[in-house]
Amino acid sequence: MRAASFEEVEWDVLGVVGTAFASAREIFTDEDGAARHDWHRAGDESDPSSLLLEEAVLPLGQQVSVHGTWSAERGAIVAPGDPSAALGVSAAVGPPENLESVLPRSTAAYLATATISTLLGAGILWFALEFLPSLV
């Protein structure tokens, strides 16, 4: 059995950004342009054997609707690669309308995005009206 050694990364903005820039520097300076790093969050010493695999057994011969991320490489719907993603692959017996009971509703996310976008747009408009005429 092979085991990868993990590099510890501080889980703050500077740690993550610094690690990303170090990896980019390695890729651009390495002659083959490839790099591999296995990272884990500093202070996160969780045991992989404690992870849970959630699965559902679907009946044979039934129509099943599935929602997830399409992978052209695998030719199938797959769970997202980001382990922090809350939504993986969802399945429901029956037509696609039955997925509504399985998929979470995210009204709060829509409202937050609309609020932030509105504030950003107002900020850009204020900046344009306040400072751009003085630059001309």
Instruction: State whether residue 69 is helix, strand or coil.
Output: strand
Would you say residue 118 lies in a domain?
yes
Name the pTM for this structure: 0.32
What is the amino acid identity at position 56?
A
Residue numbers of the domain that contains 129: 106-136
- Which pLDDT does position 119 carry in this prediction? 95
Q: What is the pLDDT along the chain (136 residues), one digit of tens a residue?
A: 456 677 788 777 777 888 888 888 888 887 887 777 777 777 767 676 776 667 777 778 888 887 777 777 777 777 665 444 445 677 778 888 877 766 666 777 888 899 999 999 999 998 888 877 766 5
Segment (H or E) for 132: helix 132-135
| Same-domain pairing of 76 and 88 | yes
Would you say residue 93 lies in a domain?
yes
* Beta-carbon contacts of residue 117 (< 8 Å; ≥ 6 apart): none
Instruction: Report the domain count for the chain.
Output: 3
- Which pLDDT does position 85 carry in this prediction? 45
Q: What are phi and psi of 67, to 5 degrees?
A: -130, 130
| Same-domain pairing of 68 and 36 | no
Nearest 5°: the CA angle 120, 123, 128 is 130
Encoding tokens for residue 78? 């797959």
| Same-domain pairing of 69 and 31 | no
Would you say residue 31 lies in a domain?
yes
Would you say residue 15 lies in a domain?
yes
Angstrom distance (rounded) from CA 109 to CA 81: 21
Would you say residue 51 lies in a domain?
no
Could you report the per-residue pLDDT of 52-77, keeping only the tens digit for each? 667 777 778 888 887 777 777 777 77
| Same-domain pairing of 99 and 117 | no
